[in-house]
Amino acid sequence: MQLAKKIKSLLRENTILLVVSFFIFNSDPAILQAQDVNPYSFTEPLSVSRGRLMPSSQDAMKIPRDEMCDLVKSEWGWESCDSVDAMVISFTPAIDSLLINKPNTSGYVKLQDWETDEREEVIAAIESDLRKSMKSQGARTGQKITFDGWRVYPTLNSNKKYMYYATNVSWDGELYVNVKAVVFDRRGYVDFSIVPTNSNISQSMMVSTINTVLDKYQPKPQEDYSSFVSGDKIAAVGAVGVLATLAGVKYGKAATGLLVGLLLVLKKGAFLLLLPLFWILGWLKRLFSKPK
């Protein structure tokens, strides 16, 4: 009975997660009766695609993959479970449910853009899109759904190579918290979806809970962030772009090379520095457009 309650809670939280992360809306409410599942104790390290999760509680349980797939397909309406590496229940007393998603392989993510003005621009765009999408979902389902701000403001821990945030979502007056977290590694990143047991815990407790999960994850040998070597694939976007991707917001600065350089310089008002380059490009265009 307790497990069914947990699964049902997970279903509602992940319905919100779908709204937040992917903006895929159905015409009918997605809250369905939980299936019976047969989890087993999570007392040994849990292997996932690019690392392993260490156990953290005697009460923790892992849902077998075939039953997890049945859940996400029949209860959440997913076409496939391929994006999920593992699902754990009661990872700690403070965590109701935990999803570890398949790792991103876009390449080594540089984190320097987190300290630029671009970060706040993207966060503002995320807030705007969340408000609009929640309102749209509420209109579709006949329920009042609103984005009620950040429980944990988007945060980058540059020392541990973590990024995370938590949003407050009101669903017909009931508060839910959507938590997304990322561990950056050599090949890209691994993201986690976390459902807390108590949606009313403080911000500091929420941050502590998130870090408890991420601290228990260990990348495979030579796959952590510090193992990057020259020649490894580098992602087209930095930490800010990853944040936008997690929140489902279109990121307009994923271009690379000369175009990015032009955009950044123009944005900073230093376009005069590019006049010689424009002159050269114009000269080359005239040269190669002359009749043979």
Stretch 64-93: mean pLDDT: 87
Average pLDDT, the chain: 78
Q: Specify the range with the lowest mean pLDDT, choosing from 23-37, 59-73, 105-119, 219-233.
A: 23-37
Contact 140, 26 (CB under 8 A): yes
Q: What is the model's pLDDT at position 39?
A: 75
Q: Which range among 40-54, 139-153, 215-229, 243-257 has the greatest average pLDDT?
A: 215-229
Q: What is the model's pLDDT at position 254?
A: 43
Percent of the chain clearing pLDDT 90 (strictly above): 48
Q: Specify the range with the lowest mean pLDDT, choosing from 57-66, 115-124, 198-207, 259-268.
A: 259-268
Q: Specify the range with the lowest mean pLDDT, choosing from 123-132, 221-230, 261-270, 282-291.
A: 261-270
Query: Per-residue pLDDT tens for 13-44?
Result: 444 444 333 332 222 222 223 445 567 788 89
pLDDT band at 249 (very low <50, low <70, confident <90, very high): confident
Q: What is the model's pLDDT at position 206?
A: 95
Q: What is the model's pLDDT at position 253?
A: 57
Q: What is the model's pLDDT at position 1?
A: 42
pLDDT score of 91 more than 60: yes
pLDDT score of 290 more than 80: no
The more confident residue out of 289 and 198 is 198
Percent of the chain clearing pLDDT 70 (strictly above): 73
The model's pTM? 0.74
Q: What is the model's pLDDT at position 70?
A: 87
